[in-house]
């Protein structure tokens, strides 16, 4: 009996070997992480099947690459030659919604948007909202510690994960955390696994904290003659109020979205700030307006109309799609200390000028988290080389300002080469030792985040 025949006995129709089907599982959205050819795709439907898969992989020394919906942009779900991709699409059940405890228990294949809708029916709210919330999975969100538009006030995925069930490379099932909101017993393995990009364990169940639904938001929009001015406005707002959303779009992204969707955006503005407040009364909104005016806004307007607010958020969420109509897009993701947001905008503009490359920048500005979207013609080798240089220059400048190479998308394969520059040798070695403790044979998502054994 071959190794794959043995695995087929454990997984039944959950094992896919058809090459045409496998093609759709070889990579995520990272354009330079095209992926090797897996020997198969496993689609387990239970924790027991994930255990059986892990034990099989350990016996046969086969790498496993966990996969959510494939919406990542850092190459975290890129397959390697001869691996087995583990898709959690069949583990898509909302196990429980506990209204009294204000928590939900879900399998990793549940879509973020589906969970939001389900808890909304109970008068509750699951806040993390990455731009891909409608199609990305909770398992993928946990693996990358996804953020989103509302994270400036309500936090990122890690702030809502109370506990995990996960399968180690040898098939051992571990449970971390639980249903209690406070728990300091032992090392915080839950936080360690959140954001580990599938390199330490395969998550099979997630217990999530929920919140009460917030009150309706008032939306403010302001335009500026420079990106630096918009950054100054954001810094002033964060110092004075707890805005529930602070997003910036630059001129390039505004023009791309307007050409794509015709939303009557101001395409002459250097930057547009979209801010929301869900605080009662008008004091918070007034202070946000004043901060924008003091920073030199060319226009400030506010609306309590939910439809108008959603239209503006639609513009923000469409930025990547609109820029993809203009060429191939390489998505960068850096963050800097908030007071240095205006300086980072200035440096991105300098990189654009030096590289002669189109870059549309959008930002979760209240967190200092920027997404410079590098647009280029992939058929033009010189243009691609300039795009790579711009991508790397953005990361280098973020590090120079005391920031990070990734605020929410993860390291994957695209940014692994910069990780040592940010962490330093001692911290990187500690990463290797943690990886060895969880996965001594290096079978889980090898080549992601840190180098596999023997290639350090």
**Cβ count within 10 A of residue 204:** 23
Over residues 113-145, the pLDDT tens digits come to 999 999 999 999 999 999 899 999 999 999 999
Residue 452: what pLDDT?
57
Whether residue 194 is predicted with pLDDT greater than 50 in this model: the reply is yes
* Residue range 99-121: mean pLDDT, rounded: 98
Whether residue 439 is predicted with pLDDT greater than 60 in this model: the reply is yes
Give the whole-angstrom CA distance, residue 33 versus residue 452: 17
* Residue range 396-411: mean pLDDT, rounded: 97
In the chain, the percentage of residues whose pLDDT exceeds 70 is 99
Give the whole-angstrom CA distance, residue 410 versus residue 359: 20
Whether residue 112 is predicted with pLDDT greater than 60 in this model: the reply is yes
* Alpha helices in 325-450, H assignment, sequence order: 341-355, 381-400, 416-423, 425-438
Residue 451: what pLDDT?
65
Over residues 329-349, the pLDDT tens digits come to 999 999 999 999 999 999 999
* Alpha helices in 215-333, H assignment, sequence order: 227-240, 251-261, 283-294, 306-317, 319-324
Whether residue 454 is predicted with pLDDT greater than 80 in this model: the reply is no
Whether residue 98 is predicted with pLDDT greater than 90 in this model: the reply is yes
Q: Which residue, 87, 110, 78, 82, is CA-closest to 97?
A: 110
Give the whole-angstrom CA distance, residue 125 versus residue 309: 19
Q: Give the CA diameter of the chain.
A: 74
CATH 3.30.43.10 is right for the domain spanning 3-87: yes
Whether residue 95 is predicted with pLDDT greater than 80 in this model: the reply is yes
Over residues 134-193, the pLDDT tens digits come to 999 999 999 999 998 999 999 999 999 999 999 999 999 999 999 999 999 999 999 999
Residue 264: what pLDDT?
93
* Alpha-carbon dihedral angle through residues 92, 411, 159, 113, given to the nearest 10 degrees: -40
Q: How confident is the model at residue 444 (pLDDT cuts 50, 70, 90)?
A: very high
Please, is 83 exposed, middle or buried when counting C-beta atoms within 10 Å of its C-beta (0-12, 13-18, 19+)? buried
CATH number of 327-435: 3.30.70.2740
In the chain, the percentage of residues whose pLDDT exceeds 90 is 93
What does pLDDT average to over the chain?
95
* Residue range 409-424: mean pLDDT, rounded: 94
Q: What is the pTM of this model?
A: 0.94
244: which 2 tokens?
């529930």
* Residue range 51-65: mean pLDDT, rounded: 98
* Residue range 400-417: mean pLDDT, rounded: 95
* Residue range 242-267: mean pLDDT, rounded: 96
Whether residue 324 is predicted with pLDDT greater than 80 in this model: the reply is yes
CATH of 94-212, one of 3.30.70.580, 3.30.1380.20, 3.40.50.620, 3.30.465.10: 3.30.465.10
Domains 94-212 and 327-435 alike in fold:
no
Q: How confident is the model at residue 31 (pLDDT cuts 50, 70, 90)?
A: confident
Q: How confident is the model at residue 456 (pLDDT cuts 50, 70, 90)?
A: very low
Please, is 237 exposed, middle or buried when counting C-beta atoms within 10 Å of its C-beta (0-12, 13-18, 19+)? buried
Ordered by start, the domain boundaries in the chain are 3-87, 94-212, 215-319, 327-435
CATH number of 215-319: 3.30.70.2190
* Residue range 200-209: mean pLDDT, rounded: 98
């Amino acid at each position: 009996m071959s190794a794959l025949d043995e695995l087929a006995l454990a997984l039944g129709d959950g094992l896919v070997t058809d090459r045409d089907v496998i093609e759709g599982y070889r990579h995520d959205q990272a354009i330079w992480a095209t992926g090797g050819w897996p020997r198969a795709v496993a689609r387990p439907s239970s924790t027991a099947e994930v255990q059986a898969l892990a034990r099989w992989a350990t016996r046969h020394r086969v790498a496993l690459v966990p996969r959510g919906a494939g919406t990542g942009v850092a190459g975290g779900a890129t397959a390697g030659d001869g691996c087995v991709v583990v898709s959690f699409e069949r583990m898509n059940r909302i196990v429980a919604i506990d209204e009294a405890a204000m928590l939900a228990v879900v399998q990793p294949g549940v879509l973020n948007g589906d969970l939001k809708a389900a808890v909304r029916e109970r008068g509750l709210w699951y806040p993390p909202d990455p731009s891909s919330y409608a199609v990305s999975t909770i398992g993928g969100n946990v693996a990358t510690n996804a953020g989103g538009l509302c994270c400036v006030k309500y936090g990122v995925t890690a702030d809502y994960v109370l506990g995990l069930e996960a399968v180690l490379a040898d098939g051992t099932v571990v449970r971390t955390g639980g249903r209690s909101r406070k728990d300091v017993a032992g090392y915080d393995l839950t936080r360690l696994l959140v954001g580990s990009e599938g390199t330490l364990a395969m998550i099979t169940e997630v217990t999530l904290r929920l919140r009460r639904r917030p009150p309706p938001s008032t939306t403010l929009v302001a335009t500026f003659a420079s990106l630096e001015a918009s950054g100054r406005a954001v810094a002033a707002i964060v110092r004075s109020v707890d805005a529930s959303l602070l997003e910036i779009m630059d001129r390039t992204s505004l023009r791309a979205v307007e050409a794509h969707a015709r939303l009557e955006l101001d395409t002459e503005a250097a930057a547009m700030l979209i801010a929301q407040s869900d605080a009662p009364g008008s004091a918070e909104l007034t202070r946000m307006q004043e901060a924008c005016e003091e920073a030199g806004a060319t226009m400030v307007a506010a609306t309590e109309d939910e439809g108008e607010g959603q239209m503006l958020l639609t513009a923000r969420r469409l930025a990547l799609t609109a820029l993809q109509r203009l060429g191939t897009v390489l998505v960068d993701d850096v963050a800097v200390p908030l007071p240095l947001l205006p300086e980072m905008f200035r440096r991105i503009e300098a990189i654009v000028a030096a590289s002669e490359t189109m870059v549309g920048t959008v930002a979760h500005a209240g967190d200092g988290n920027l997404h410079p979207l590098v647009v280029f013609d992939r058929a033009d080798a010189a243009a691609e080389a300039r795009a790579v240089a711009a991508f790397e220059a953005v990361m280098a400048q973020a590090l120079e300002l005391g920031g990070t190479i990734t605020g929410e998308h993860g390291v994957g394969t695209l940014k692994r080469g910069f990780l040592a520059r940010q962490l330093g040798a001692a911290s990187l070695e500690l990463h290797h030792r943690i990886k060895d403790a969880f996965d001594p044979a290096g079978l889980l998502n090898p080549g992601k985040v840190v180098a596999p054994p023997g290639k350090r």
